[in-house]
């Protein structure tokens, strides 16, 4: 529900912002006459716009087979990356055998025992 004041403001705006039928016809005739006289500047555009040559990638993208090829390349690259990542994960998840450490510990224990025996011999003497 519009108030009377809002209706008056809207009517005033419409009358100021829009042209009547007679005014539109007079302005149309004036523009036509000035155009025929040549008063308006002309913008001469070349008949055919010069476009840069398209690259192979753009031409290939225009065909469905090119899009399929690009999708296959993307899948191949991502598959190779996933395969390499999986191989590196396999190497890090399988630690080397503990056998060399066990032999090393036995060797250290044997050396410590021999050192104790030598120190005891030195004390006894």
Whether the CB-CB separation of 69 and 60 falls below 8 Å is answered with: yes
What's the pTM? 0.29
Q: 37-76, pLDDT tens digit by residue?
A: 887 766 666 666 667 777 777 777 778 887 888 889 999 9
User: Is the residue at 53 inside a domain?
Assistant: no
Residue 64 falls inside a structural domain: no
Q: Count up the domains in the chain and report the number.
A: 2
Question: How far is Cα 54 from Cα 27, in angstroms, rounded to an integer?
Answer: 46
The answer as to whether 21 is a domain residue is: yes
Is residue 60 assigned to a domain? Answer: no
Range(s) of the domain holding residue 117: 96-125
14 falls within a domain: yes
* 44-75 core/surface letters (b: 16 or more CB in 10 A; e: else): eeeeeeeeeeeeeeeeeeeeeeeeeeeeeeee
């Amino acid at each position: 529900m519009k108030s009377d004041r809002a209706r008056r403001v809207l009517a005033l705006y419409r009358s100021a912002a829009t042209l009547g039928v007679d005014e539109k016809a007079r302005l149309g005739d004036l523009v036509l006459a000035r155009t025929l006289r040549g008063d308006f500047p002309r913008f001469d555009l070349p008949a055919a716009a010069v476009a840069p040559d398209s690259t192979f990638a753009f031409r290939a993208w225009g065909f469905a087979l090119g899009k399929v090829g690009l999708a296959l390349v993307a899948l191949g690259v991502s598959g190779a990356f996933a395969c390499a990542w999986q191989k590196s994960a396999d190497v890090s998840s399988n630690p080397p055998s503990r056998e060399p450490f066990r032999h090393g510990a036995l060797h250290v224990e044997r050396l410590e025992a021999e050192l104790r025996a030598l120190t005891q011999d030195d004390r006894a003497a």
